[in-house]
Amino acid sequence: MKRIGSRSHLALVLAAVAFVGLSACRAGVDTTSVGGVAEARELSEADVLAAAKTYVPTGRMDEYLMFSSGGHSGQVLVIGIPSMRLLKVIGVFTPEPWQGYGYGAEEHKELMASGEMSGHEITWGDTHHPALSETDGDYDGQFLFINDKANPRIAVIDLRDMETKQIVTDPLMGSNHGGAFVTPNTEYVIEASQYAAPLDGSYASLDEYKDKYRGAVTLFKFDRERGRIDLDQSFSIELPPYWQDLSDAGKGPSAGWMFLNSFNTEMATGGIESGNPPFEAGVSQNDMDYLAIINWEQAADVAAQPGKTVTIQGRRVIPMATAVSEGLLYFVPEPKSPHGIDVTPDGTKMVVSGKLDPHATVYSWEKIQAAIANSQFSGEDEYGVPILDFDAVIEGQLELGLGPLHTQYAPDGMAFTSLFLESAVAKWNYETLELLEKQEVHYNVGHIATAEGDTKSPDGGYLVSLNKWAIDRFHPVGPLHPQNFQLVDISGPEMALLYDSPIGIGEPHYAQIIKADKLNVWTTYPEVGWDPHTMAKAESAPLAGDERIERRGNEVHVFMTAIRSHFTPEHITVNRGDEVVLHITNIELAQDATHGFAIDKHNVNLSLEPGETQTVRFVADRAGVFPFYCTEFCSALHLEMAGYLLVK
């Protein structure tokens, strides 16, 4: 892979470190040489090398982009690699004022409303797992999906303008965790429930847990043409009330199948205050939990057949008994309190880590298929789901260390697994089952991400460790510490820590890293009058020369344009009680010529990017004089880009 600077260049730099380090040390600090700076700043050779590997000079661009969950911020972070520079914060489940996301535009109101759950507005999300769209098992750079664990939802982000286009809810679930992940051609975006609850949303006592509580997995049909999830074509599968954890789709020979961890097969219901074992003990009693193996391709056929599904809360659900009788659902034991399940790039193996088991367990797809074909079961669970014989389907186990969680891949059989309890990343070979080395990280690593690490052809080169704790790494900023993303060089025979990148937004869970040249990002909208919600030119968009104010009964429609450095019109006079509808187009197509639009005391702020049109609708419920102005420093006369809303 291409690195910043050639090896010979680095050799020169290091030689300079050694040489100048000697020659300049007595003459005070020499800040004109690498060696002088290294000495003055007490940098080792390894530090200088790490700096040379990560520094991206002004005007140059990063080789990769990382799309990271923004954790509780309900947003998505876009970060360049290897520089670790933050390039964008995409508003997803949470209003974002700079982008005017959720601050007045009708288009965003609709989007936010589509994310309401049980009639309640929810303005945050616990974003967990971003998933890039795939074509033939490789990231295609078109779309990004992300789940909200707290309020089971999935959002669709179009990577042409990196804006959120759709939020869909999953009313069946009480929370989700196994998602978002996509099938190899993004036929479906999938999420699985975590904490079980009644699927119909009704009340049921915890005494009725086994009867009334359920898990589920939902397959949201993705319409790539429209760039939207199609709820009519989506369906769910009912699961036992275990707690599903992380999940993955098969690829290559295992394409058409998906794999879902589940823990709490004990079906513990907690209640420490009543003398019951607390959840942490209750859900960790069994030595084995179950990996669910589901034939999603066949499930889609079954879901399309009349009479094979039931409707719960308006959603199509394949009942558990049907899933079993149709041969869609199998379990296989997995050790102990499983967390990650990661299908190898070639799709032949499934790697599972148990939080409380020091091993990675590697399953063979060939053996799983044979066991299914030969009904090689060791029994069935309480709900009649057949359990494949553990010994018949595993390829092997490898002791990695304490608290293994998630595995990512690189070429040549290389696998990297995060070790939460050890605060380390283990590098191993999933073909030979050899542990190769470990790299310390600071501290409590959750997910890791390698370049193109979830595809059929991972790149290697870089690994980012998403650490939960950051004690002693940074200046204290209060008791809430930053999260620490650490960049690790995995291109050589030994891993090397390159860079600490504190993130003041928490708690990012997972990230995916895509080669930057796979993206086709617009730098302006394609046409003046573009509606990013429909991704088409809007009929109603005012263009230059169309500006006017039209009264329609008590509705006042204002057709406004924005260009450096004025809005047209600048005066809007209405009567108190009128409904004001502003249609505003930024009629510029120059890159970065974004105009904002804010109205005093109305909680309105738009970001009108070049070519973009937006609509704002509000009732002028207060008489008075309300300045409006452009909130982007767009030009020398930006302060003059203003006007008055006069409410009589």
**Which partner from the list ligand CUA, ligand K7E, none does 533 bind, CB cut-off 5 to 8 Å by kind?**
none
Least distance from C-beta 86 to ligand CUA, angstroms? 24
Residue 584 within binding range of ligand CUA, rule CB under 6 A? no
- Kindly write out the interface string for residues 610-639 of this chain, putting x where it contacts ligand CUA by CB under 6 A and - elsewhere: --------------------x-xxx---x-
Strand partners, 158: 143, 163
Residue 473 sits in the site that holds ligand CUA (CB under 6 A): no
Can you give the binding site for ligand K7E, defined by CB under 6 A? 128-129, 177, 246, 339, 405-406, 446-447, 509-510
Residue 481 near which of ligand CUA, ligand K7E, none (CB within 5-8 Å, type-dependent):
none
Minimum CB–partner distance for residue 195 and ligand K7E (Å): 12
Q: Decide which of ligand CUA, ligand K7E, none touches 355; Cβ closer than 5 to 8 Å per partner kind.
A: none
Alpha-carbon distances of 199 from 202, 212, 236, 365, 485, rounded to whole Å: 8, 8, 11, 31, 37
Supply the minimum distance, in Å, between the C-beta of residue 541 and ligand CUA: 18
Site for ligand CUA in 214-243 (CB under 6 A): none
CB of 404 to ligand K7E, least distance (A): 11
d(CA 138, CA 140): 6
Q: Which residue's CB is nearer to ligand K7E, number 420 or number 428?
A: 420
Return all residues near 405 (Cβ < 8 A) that are at least 6 apart: 339, 340, 353, 355, 417, 418, 419, 420, 445, 446, 447
Q: How far is the CB of 632 from ligand CUA (least distance, A)?
A: 5
Nearer to ligand CUA, 360 or 645 (CB): 645
Residue 294 engages ligand CUA in binding (rule: CB under 6 A): no
Closest approach of ligand CUA to the CB of residue 641, in Å: 4
Contact partner at residue 602 from ligand CUA, ligand K7E, none, CB < 5 to 8 Å by partner kind = none
Smallest distance from ligand K7E to CB 127, Å: 10
How far is the C-alpha of 480 from the C-alpha of 470, rounded, in Å?
A: 10
Minimum CB separation of residue 567 from ligand CUA in Å reads: 8
How does strand 566-568 pair with strand 555-563?
antiparallel
Residue type, 388: L
Alpha-carbon torsion angle 97, 107, 67, 351, nearest 10: 130
Site for ligand CUA in 551-580 (CB under 6 A): 565
Q: How far is the CB of 497 from ligand K7E (least distance, A)?
A: 20
Evaluated on CA atoms 134, 138, 142, 148, the torsion sign reads positive
For 154, other C-beta atoms within 10 Å of its C-beta total 25
Question: Which C-beta is closer to ligand K7E: that of 128 or that of 515?
Answer: 128
Number of residues that bind ligand CUA (CB under 6 A): 8
Decide which of ligand CUA, ligand K7E, none touches 632; Cβ closer than 5 to 8 Å per partner kind: ligand CUA
Stretch (H or E) spanning 120: none
- Number of helices (H), then strands (E), belonging to the chain: the values are 10, 44
Tokens, residue 636? 């020398």
CA separation for the pair 104, 110 (Å, rounded): 11
Residue 447 contacts which entry, ligand CUA, ligand K7E, none (Cβ below 5-8 A, type-dependent): ligand K7E
Nearest residue relative to ligand K7E (C-beta): 446
Nearer to ligand K7E, 217 or 405 (CB): 405
| First-residue to last-residue Cα distance in the chain | 66
Complex with ligand CUA: residue 160 or 583, whichever CB lies closer: 583
Q: Which is nearer to ligand K7E, 341 or 572 (CB)?
A: 341
- CA 217 to chain centroid: 18
DSSP string, 215-278: EEEEEEEEETTTTEEEEEEEEEEEE-SSEEEEEEE--GGGTTEEEEEEE-TT-----GGGTSPP
**Phi, psi at residue 195, to the nearest 5°?**
-70, 125
Residue 634, contacted partner among ligand CUA, ligand K7E, none, CB below 5-8 A by kind: ligand CUA
CA 643 from centroid of its chain's CA atoms = 40
Computed from CA positions of residues 573, 576, 579, 581, in that sequence, does the dihedral angle turn out positive or negative? positive
3-state secondary structure of 74: coil
Q: How many other CB atoms sit within 10 Å of the CB of residue 214?
A: 26
Q: Which is nearer to ligand K7E, 129 or 481 (CB)?
A: 129
CB 103 → ligand CUA: shortest distance, Å? Answer: 16
Decide: is 641 part of the binding site for ligand CUA (CB under 6 A). yes
Rg (alpha carbons) of the chain, rounded to whole number: 27
* Closer of 233 and 635 to ligand CUA (Cβ): 635
Q: How far is the CB of 468 from ligand K7E (least distance, A)?
A: 8
Residue 128's binding partner among ligand K7E, ligand CUA, none (Cβ under 5 to 8 angstroms by kind) is ligand K7E
**What is the DSSP code string of 6-60?**
-HHHHHHHHHHHHHHHHHSSTTS--TTSHHHHHHHTT--HHHHHHHHHH---TT-
3-state percent helix, strand, coil for the chain, nearest multiple of 5: 15, 45, 45
Token pair 């199509």 is found at 316
Determine, following the binding rule CB under 6 A, whether residue 595 of this chain makes contact with ligand CUA. Answer: yes
CB of residue 419 to ligand K7E, shortest distance in Å: 12
157 interface partner picked from ligand K7E, ligand CUA, none, CB below 5 to 8 A per type:
none
Where on the chain is the footprint of ligand CUA (CB under 6 A)? 565, 595, 630, 632-634, 638, 641
